[in-house]
């Protein structure tokens, strides 16, 4: 009686545990999950996370700026101004179009480890920043599109 009882328990245990184990790998997210965004909307989503991880510590959670970095959201409040803000030490060039902002950010940002992100991550962050500034695009943001986005006519 005792032996049968243990065998039954083992069978039940394996039915639950082994079944759970063997199905786990199939539920792992595919490698493509972190692939490059293909649309402006996907860029905004990816950019929101990348901004939070890499830029918000100095530029603020909402791009409002902190003691460690200037405002990057709120064009009407002086964000991404045509001429470098007062006290700027790194920026020398004007921001006429979004391509000018991209060139600056890719080369110099994040300020504590410049150029450390993938190129598509910079474009995603700029898409997120555009959206935060009230601009939505019909197409994916890239260099050619950025040249057509005039910040200061």
Query: In the stretch 62-101, what mask flags binding to ligand HEC with x, by CB under 6 A?
Result: ------xxx-x-------xx--xx--xxxx---------x
110 makes contact with ligand HEC (CB under 6 A): yes
Cα–chain-centroid distance for residue 99?
18
Nearer to ligand HEC by Cβ, of 9 and 143: the residue is 143
Looking at 54, 98, 123, 151, which residue binds ligand HEC (CB under 6 A)?
54
135 makes contact with ligand HEC (CB under 6 A): no
Distances 80 to 4, 6, 138, 142 between C-alpha atoms, Å: 76, 72, 22, 18
Distances 71 to 25, 59, 62, 83, 122 between C-alpha atoms, Å: 44, 6, 9, 14, 17
Give min distance, CB of 35 to ligand HEC, in A: 20
125 makes contact with ligand HEC (CB under 6 A): yes
Cβ atoms of 84 and 73 closer than 8 Å: no
127 makes contact with ligand HEC (CB under 6 A): no
Cβ atoms of 122 and 106 closer than 8 Å: yes
Round to whole Å and give the CA distance between 48 and 129. 8
Applying CB under 6 A, the residues found at the interface with ligand HEC are 54-55, 57-59, 68-70, 72, 80-81, 84-85, 88-91, 101, 104-105, 109-112, 117, 125
């Amino acid at each position: 009686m005792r032996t049968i009882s243990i065998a039954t328990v083992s069978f039940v245990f394996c039915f639950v545990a082994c079944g759970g184990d063997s199905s786990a790998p199939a539920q792992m997210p595919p490698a493509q999950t972190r692939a490059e965004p293909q649309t402006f909307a996907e860029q905004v989503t990816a950019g929101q996370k990348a901004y939070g991880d890499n830029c918000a510590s100095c530029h603020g959670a909402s791009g409002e700026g902190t003691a460690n970095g200037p405002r990057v959201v709120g064009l009407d409040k002086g964000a991404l101004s045509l001429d470098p803000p007062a006290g700027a030490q790194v920026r020398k060039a004007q921001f006429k179009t979004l391509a000018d902002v991209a060139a600056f950010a890719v080369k110099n940002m994040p300020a504590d480890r410049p150029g450390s992100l993938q190129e598509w991550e910079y474009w995603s962050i700029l898409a997120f920043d555009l959206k935060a500034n009230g601009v939505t695009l019909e197409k994916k943001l890239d260099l050619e599109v950025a040249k057509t986005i005039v910040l200061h006519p």
